[in-house]
């Protein structure tokens, strides 16, 4: 029996890797009636004041597609979704009947992605992998590695 109305999270930073993860999630996980929740995390120092400070601890409110595809609205959050990602999401909403939402967090992506799983809550999370070599992964840390090892829901890492 299929679970209806899942909350499928996809970590996005609007890079090539996150677009691959989004496409994979839409092809393999998301079904009609599910909520597609795009989660993006910005460094704490990426804002100065105003609305973003209100949401520092809990993340932004859920932002519907009509708002996160509007550059004027997204400017106040300091987020610039790219056209390709917006088109992928728009087509998914139309073809699969999913409800796309965006949630923005500020801070360390490793910690905030794990926190988002419980605070939203998510049924599963799909995350891209930048393919860092061993040396870079040691110095920079792997977001996907941390999330896989600390998440409280199933996590899929897409290369």
Domain residues for 109?
7-158
Distance, CA of 124 to CA of 39 (rounded, Å): 12
What would the pLDDT profile of 137-149 be if each residue is shown by its tens digit? 444 457 888 898 9
Give the whole-number percent of the chain exceeding pLDDT 90: 60
Supply the pLDDT for residue 146.
Answer: 87
Give the whole-number percent of the chain exceeding pLDDT 70: 83
What would the pLDDT profile of 86-95 be if each residue is shown by its tens digit? 999 999 999 9
Supply the pLDDT for residue 2.
Answer: 46
What is the CA angle 59-63-64, rounded to 5?
160
* CATH (domain of 11): 3.40.50.620
Mean pLDDT of 39-52: 68
User: Per the domain annotation, does 2 fall within a domain?
Assistant: no
- Helices and strands in the chain: count of H runs, count of E runs: 8, 6
Q: Is the pTM of this model over 0.75?
A: yes
What would the pLDDT profile of 113-122 be if each residue is shown by its tens digit? 999 999 999 9
Q: Tell the residue number behind the tokens 């995350």, with chain if given.
A: 127
Question: Structural domain tally of the chain?
Answer: 1
What would the pLDDT profile of 50-76 be if each residue is shown by its tens digit? 556 677 778 899 999 999 999 998 988
User: Per the domain annotation, does 21 fall within a domain?
Assistant: yes
Gyration radius of the chain over CA positions: 15
């Amino acid at each position: 029996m299929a679970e209806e109305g899942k909350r499928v999270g996809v970590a996005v930073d609007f890079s090539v890797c996150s677009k691959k993860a989004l496409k994979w999630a839409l092809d393999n996980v998301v079904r009609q009636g599910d909520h597609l929740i795009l989660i993006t995390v910005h460094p704490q120092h990426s804002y100065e004041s105003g609305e973003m400070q209100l949401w520092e601890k809990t993340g932004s409110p859920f932002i519907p597609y009509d708002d996160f595809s509007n550059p004027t609205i997204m400017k106040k959050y300091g987020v610039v979704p790219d056209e390709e990602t917006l088109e992928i999401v728009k087509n998914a909403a139309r073809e699969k009947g999913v409800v796309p939402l965006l949630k923005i967090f500020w801070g360390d992506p490793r910690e905030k992605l794990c926190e988002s799983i419980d605070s939203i809550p998510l049924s599963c999370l799909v995350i891209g992998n930048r393919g860092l070599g061993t040396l870079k992964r040691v110095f920079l840390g792997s977001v996907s590695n941390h999330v896989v090892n600390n998440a409280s829901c199933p996590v899929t890492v897409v290369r």
